[in-house]
Each structure stands twice: as C-alpha cells, then as structure tokens.
Amino acid sequence: AQTVTQSQPEMSVQEAETVTLSCTYDTSESDYYLFWYKQPPSRQMILVIRQEAYKQQNATENRFSVNFQKAAKSFSLKISDSQLGDAAMYFCAYGDNYGQNFVFGPGTRLSVLP
C-alpha cells in the first residue's frame, strides 16, 4: 500500500521568510498525483497545490511552490514570504492514477511568528 511520510510534525517560520515542508511517499506506480492541503484552525481543508507526476515542471501557485523529485519520491512545499494566515496544518497527499488509492500524510503544523 502507498504511504506518505511527513517527517516534520511541527515547523515555525518568521513572517516574510521562506519555509520548506518535507514529504516523501512510497509507490511502485509511474503515473500518480501529489497534493498539498492546508487545514487552518477553522478546520476546513483547502487545496494548496497539485502536481501530476508525469509533468516534470514543478507546480506553483503564487507564493507556494513544490520541489518534485520523482526518483527520490520527494514532494516538498516551499512557502515564500510567509504570512500570518499561512499558519495551519499542512497535509501531503498521494493519489494513484486510477483514483483507487488516495492517502494523506500525518501532517505538519506550521506556525508563523510575527
């Protein structure tokens, strides 16, 4: 079964600085999808960024970008110019190409310090 590992239970960053959250996954598939979801204190999960494994170009969404290393099975999230509103739990997730296996990692709690 696919697994998703987030080795950093907690991270902190100074406002306006850059932080990188780590994610590794295990799969034998060649085509799949990777995601970062944000869960703020309001509890509602929000998609931050999505990557299709067959695309070599790293996905970006404004201040959020990923470093996708397919061979290393690594999918880290970089948040630039961190803002107080970025404080949340961040979950890395994997989905296989068939939509059959979709797994969330354990999450990283990000604090943003003023």
Judged by CB under 8 A, the chain residues 35 through 74 that form the site for another protein are: 37, 42-47, 50
Name the residue nearer to another protein (CB basis): 18 or 106.
106
Dmax of the chain from CA atoms?
43
What letter represents residue 114's amino acid? P
Burial class (CB in 10 A: 0-12, 13-18, 19+), 70: middle
Binding mask 72-91 for another protein (x = CB under 8 A): -------------------x
Neighbours of 38 (CB within 10 A): 21
3-class DSSP assignment, residue 84: helix
Give the shortest CB-16-to-another protein separation in angstroms: 28
| Number of residues counted as binding another protein (CB under 8 A) | 20
Q: In this complex, which beta carbon is closest to another protein, that of residue 65 or of residue 95? A: 95
Please report whether residue 1 would count as binding another protein according to CB under 8 A: no
30 binds another protein (CB under 8 A): no
Q: Name the residue among 3, 12, 1, 2 with its Cα closest to residue 113.
A: 12
Q: Which residues in this chain contact another protein in the complex, by CB under 8 A?
A: 33, 37, 42-47, 50, 91, 95, 97-100, 102, 104-107
